[in-house]
Amino acid sequence: MIIAESKPLAEIAALIKNARKILLVGCGGCVSVCLAGGEKETGILASELRMLRQVEGNPLETIEVTLTRQCDPEYVEMLANHLTEDIDCIVSLACGVGVQFLAERYQKWVVPALNTKFAGGTVEHGVWEERCGLCGECILYKTGGICPIIRCSKSILNGPCGGSQNGKCEINPDTPCAWQLIYDRLQALDKLDLLLELEPLKDWSQSRDGGPRKVVREDVKLD
């Protein structure tokens, strides 16, 4: 899933400092699971912002709605009833995709309440880690299911580099070296021969470097 975390309250407050009434929109998707932008967090943020403004003597009015998903026009449409004239600003607690879907659909100023971090998963309660580099052409079958593109600090494809020591990456003693992990796993599965061949240059045009990407499935399109 997409992992996000809340921007600092002061930053969000500054983003809406000229608004008198705002619509806070939560998202029931990934950010709900990673406890950043679900219904509960939306409610908490709304009351925090109101309290802050109360103290400043500049009261803020809030409306809170949590959509099933903000990355789906079908659900985004449901916001239409809530968007009255007097709302100065929409605060989206979705990932960057949700923020943009709202901005595309509505003629209102939309600001993000979260920093969208990465594609990852829960490793323990309250801890999420990045796993996928979204490179557009999966190579996990060559690396024992460990992604060097995002888990190696240099995204190298023929690792490990000379900075790998005691299983750790050169950048930080707390960061595991992805290539040591790959090595250990391939060794355990008796597949070290996969590392003998030079991995050729990657086609990054499949990645974000090729401009915004699109997936089209003709078989499920309606028209």
Chain residues binding another protein by CB under 8 A are 153-167, 170-172, 177, 180, 183-184, 195-196, 198-202, 204
Shorter beta-carbon distance to ligand SF4: residue 37 or 160: 160
The minimum distance between CB 166 and another protein, in angstroms, equals: 6
The minimum distance between CB 153 and ligand SF4, in angstroms, equals: 4
Q: Does 73 sit near ligand SF4 (CB under 6 A)? A: no
Dihedral sign, CA of 136, 103, 26, 16?
positive
Q: Does 173 sit near ligand SF4 (CB under 6 A)? A: no
String of contacts with ligand SF4 for each residue 138-167, x by CB under 6 A: --------------xxx-x--xxx-xx---
The minimum distance between CB 157 and ligand SF4, in angstroms, equals: 10
d(C-alpha 121, C-alpha 130), whole Å:
7
> Is-contact 24 12, C-beta < 8 A?
no
Shorter beta-carbon distance to ligand SF4: residue 61 or 184: 184
User: Which whole-number Å values give the CA distances from 202 to 80, 111, 138, 151, in the listed order?
Assistant: 44, 36, 11, 16
**Which of another protein, ligand SF4, none is residue 20 near (CB under 5 to 8 Å by kind)?**
none
**Which of ligand SF4, another protein, none is residue 201 near (CB under 5 to 8 Å by kind)?**
another protein
**Which of ligand SF4, another protein, none is residue 178 near (CB under 5 to 8 Å by kind)?**
ligand SF4
Binding-site ranges for ligand SF4 (CB under 6 A): 152-154, 156, 159-161, 163-164, 169-170, 177-179
